[in-house]
Chain A
Amino acid sequence: MTATRTEAPTIAPTRLADADLDLLLLIRHFELALLDMFGRGELHGTTHTCLGQEYVPVALRPLLTDDDFVFSNHRGHGHYLARFADPHGLLAEVMGREGAVCQGVGGSQHILRDRYLSTGVQGESVPVAAGVALHLKRTEPGRLALVYLGDGTWGEGAVYEALNMAALWGLPLLLVVENNGIAQSTPTVAQLAGSIGGRARAFGVDHLRVTSTDTEVVRAALTPVLRRVRERSTPYVVELLTHRVGPHSKGDDSRRPEEIAHARAHDWYARYAQAYPEQFGVHDERQRAYVAQVVADVAGRPASRWAEADRG
């Protein structure tokens, strides 16, 4: 059974607490600012924004504790900001400025802070997270390892090797699949046979598919999942049908205009603005201004330094 994906949802979004809305908007404006800077040639390298997908880590935020491990991927700015609310450190990392979380060595895709880690090789962190989950199961029961991964990443064998071990060994490993229907330029239907749910079931691993882009609805759906992973020490796959509103990285969006329009129609941002214009207006402006200030602050900083002693 596949949910309908051709029309914008008709139900109005749930009104969010200010803190949730602020976080969503912080991520949104952070990503827009990055694209803006790239456009002006002020950023070096590449970046992958999570425009349209911001609600995923925001929904998960209160369901996680600092003692849980989070493994992020190339599209990880939202994951990071939802965990640390630290746009300065992240932007400094992307720009290679003082105060960068990883001294500018890792950049957008390679960040390690406390129990948060991202890497740029698709699927690689799933077995790593299984190893961490093994450690948690033995010494810190009740804690879990969460991995964010995209639909395209289900082409990587590492995912299945890890899922197999996680199921065999009863590991508290939660895979959060952000299924945005595309991997770089290739639609999911052209790169994924069967279904993610079918693949999870083949390992005897529970799977939940969530189609809503409403932060509260997603959070409510995921609450029992995280409880179950913690209490039973078991892997779980949650698949969130989501929409990539922006390009894969910078200007590389080869989708047809109607496909892009379809993604935009599902964007929580415009829908929320329409549903709650007053609340939205105030917070949107506040976060836009805050991010502008972060950009000005970080852009004015000296270059980051990588000390000899920190070089491994």
Chain B
Amino acid sequence: MAERVVENLNQALHALLADDPALTVLGEDLVDPYGGAFKVTRGLSARWPDRVLSTPLSEGGIVGVAGGLALAGQSAIVEIMFSDFVALAFDQILNFASKSTAMYGRRVPMRLVVRCPSGGNRGYGPTHSQSPLKHFVGIPGLSLHEVSPFHDNRAVLAGMLATGRPGLLFEDKVLYTSRMYADGVVDELFRYDLIGPDGDVARVRVDEEEQADCVLVVPGGLAARAVAVARELLLRDDIVCQVLVPSRLWPLDTDTLLPPIARAGRVVVAEESTAGGTWGAELAQVVHRRLWGALRAPVRLVHSADSVIPTAAHLERTVLVQDTDIRQAVKEVVSGD
């Protein structure tokens, strides 16, 4: 059986520290035996005590220190314990790390990744369950990625560092304990491949099936949920749905995303962030502008409600995007014409 996502991330960090003596990993409570709030950094500090640092509770300061290491030509990976707290590092991300790549009139490589465990469904409540990616969309010089069960994190992290642009890696917390997909196989019905110049977009589709009724685009955190929806749509509603999961969410890889959307003519973009100023809205406006003639229905967005995220499970469900919301959206888009 394939490894769990948390193991994949952990192995990725082990490999990167081994490959790159200039890399430092820092964040709160990272060192062993604790190994990070979600155990992603387990075992790292035992092997590299000088390059894996537990820090004070100082998100802005830590990202600043990482920015300093990057400025000095080093690489740095920061773990923010809960992505909600990346708000405290907003200045360092917006005004220092991303700006420094260009504001001095020349390219300054900043090899810096900020890892952000995100998302709800774990009952952590309003300030520990958000998906704050949308607040970072459109910052020049900043890349946004999300962990998915299709993308090997060693390649993702190494690729992010190699660009010389600072990046945020969102990690939906529900993924940690789920399994990676491997060898192009999702289940007995669906297969996947990695498309685009860097293999950045995972494409999940019914075996041998070329024509889809609808394309469902989701960040990695929703990948398994989107696949479950696609499966149900196929078996219960006879709707063929292709799922696209980009690893890099910003800047948008439109060259890779648009052709399959154009072929299907229908697209649903689902994400867990709350309503307003979403990543999906950005994708939608590009699809509308570039594919207007090819679309059979307007782009449909699915996201969580415009609400704080409650703690109690029965209340949390009323706010966070549910599989049934995604399924309903696809059905409406497909039956709409």
A interface with B by C-beta (< 8 Å): 69, 100-106, 110-112, 117, 119, 121, 124-136, 138, 145, 157-158, 161-162, 164-165, 168, 304, 306, 309-312
B211 CB to nearest chain A CB (Å)? 40
Interface centre among B63, B67, B70, B72 (most CB of A within 10 A): B72
Q: How far is the CA of A121 from the CA of B67 in the complex (A)?
A: 15
1/0 per residue, CB under 8 A from A, across B145-174: the answer is: 000000000000000000001000000000
Having A130-B65, A135-B69, A168-B56, one finds 18 other A-B pairs with CB under 8 Å, namely: A102-B103, A103-B106, A110-B104, A117-B71, A117-B104, A121-B96, A127-B92, A129-B68, A132-B69, A132-B71, A134-B68, A135-B68, A136-B72, A161-B56, A161-B64, A164-B56, A165-B55, A165-B61
Q: Are B107 and A131 in contact (CB under 8 A)?
A: no
B105: CB under 8 A from chain A? yes
1/0 per residue, CB under 8 A from A, across B69-82: the answer is: 11110101000000
Q: Are A103 and B67 in contact (CB under 8 A)?
A: no
User: Do A124 and B58 contact each other (CB < 8 Å), given the known contacts A103-B106, A310-B107?
Assistant: no
Q: How far is the CA of A165 from the CA of B74 in the complex (A)?
A: 19
Question: 23 A-B residue contacts at CB 8 Å?
Answer: A100-B105, A102-B105, A102-B106, A105-B104, A105-B105, A106-B103, A106-B104, A106-B105, A110-B104, A124-B95, A125-B96, A127-B58, A128-B67, A130-B65, A131-B68, A131-B71, A132-B68, A132-B69, A138-B50, A158-B91, A161-B58, A312-B102, A312-B140
B303-330 with Cβ < 8 A to chain A = none
Q: Are A112 and B100 in contact (CB under 8 A)?
A: yes
B residues within 8 A CB of A134? 24, 65, 68-69
B interface with A by C-beta (< 8 Å): 24, 50, 55-56, 58, 60-72, 74, 76, 91-92, 95-96, 99-108, 140-141, 165
Q: Are B108 and A112 in contact (CB under 8 A)?
A: yes
- Quick one: closest A residue to B165, CB to CB? A312
Q: Are B105 and A103 in contact (CB under 8 A)?
A: yes
Q: Are A130 and B64 in contact (CB under 8 A)?
A: yes
A residues within 8 A CB of B105? 100-106, 304, 306, 310
Partner of B104, one of A69, A102, A121: A102
Q: Are A132 and B72 in contact (CB under 8 A)?
A: yes
Per CB-CB distance, the 8 closest pairs between chain A and chain B, nearest first, are: A131-B68, A127-B64, A312-B102, A161-B61, A103-B105, A102-B105, A131-B65, A112-B104
B residues within 8 A CB of A112? 100, 104, 108
A residues within 8 A CB of B50? 138
Partner of A105, one of B76, B103, B165: B103
B residues within 8 A CB of A105? 102-105
User: Do A110 and B103 contact each other (CB < 8 Å), given the known contacts A124-B91, A127-B60, A164-B56?
Assistant: yes
B162 CB to nearest chain A CB (Å)? 15
Q: Are A127 and B68 in contact (CB under 8 A)?
A: yes
A residues within 8 A CB of B64? 124-128, 130-131, 158, 161-162
Q: How far is the CA of A149 from the CA of B305 in the complex (A)?
A: 44
A310 CB to nearest chain B CB (Å)? 4
A106 CB to nearest chain B CB (Å)? 5
B167 CB to nearest chain A CB (Å)? 13
- Quick one: closest A residue to B50, CB to CB? A138
B140 CB to nearest chain A CB (Å)? 7
B residues within 8 A CB of A161? 56, 58, 60-62, 64
A residues within 8 A CB of B95? 119, 121, 124
Q: How far is the CA of A312 from the CA of B61 in the complex (A)?
A: 24
Q: Are B65 and A127 in contact (CB under 8 A)?
A: yes
User: Do A119 and B96 contact each other (CB < 8 Å), given the known contacts A131-B66, A135-B69, A165-B56?
Assistant: yes
B residues within 8 A CB of A164? 56, 58, 61
- Quick one: closest A residue to B51, CB to CB? A138
B residues within 8 A CB of A100? 105
A residues within 8 A CB of B63? 127
A34 CB to nearest chain B CB (Å)? 20
Q: How far is the CA of A138 from the CA of B55 in the complex (A)?
A: 17
- Quick one: closest A residue to B24, CB to CB? A134
- Quick one: closest B residue to A168, CB to CB? B56
- Quick one: closest B residue to A159, CB to CB? B61
B residues within 8 A CB of A125? 64, 96
A303 CB to nearest chain B CB (Å)? 13
A292 CB to nearest chain B CB (Å)? 26
Q: Are A131 and B56 in contact (CB under 8 A)?
A: no
User: Do A309 and B61 contact each other (CB < 8 Å), given the known contacts A131-B69, A131-B71, A168-B56?
Assistant: no
Q: How far is the CA of A25 from the CA of B172 in the complex (A)?
A: 58
Q: How far is the CA of A58 from the CA of B296 in the complex (A)?
A: 69
- Quick one: closest A residue to B55, CB to CB? A165
Q: How far is the CA of A134 from the CA of B101 in the complex (A)?
A: 21
Interface centre among A128, A145, A158 (most CB of B within 10 A): A128
Interface centre among A111, A119, A133, A135 (most CB of B within 10 A): A135
B residues within 8 A CB of A102? 103-106
Q: How far is the CA of A100 from the CA of B91 in the complex (A)?
A: 27
B95 CB to nearest chain A CB (Å)? 5
Q: How far is the CA of A130 from the CA of B65 in the complex (A)?
A: 6
Q: How far is the CA of A130 from the CA of B26 in the complex (A)?
A: 13
- Quick one: closest B residue to A112, CB to CB? B104
- Quick one: closest A residue to B101, CB to CB? A312
A243 CB to nearest chain B CB (Å)? 30
A residues within 8 A CB of B56? 161, 164-165, 168
B229 CB to nearest chain A CB (Å)? 38
Partner of B72, one of A101, A135, A310: A135
Interface centre among A102, A131, A162 (most CB of B within 10 A): A131
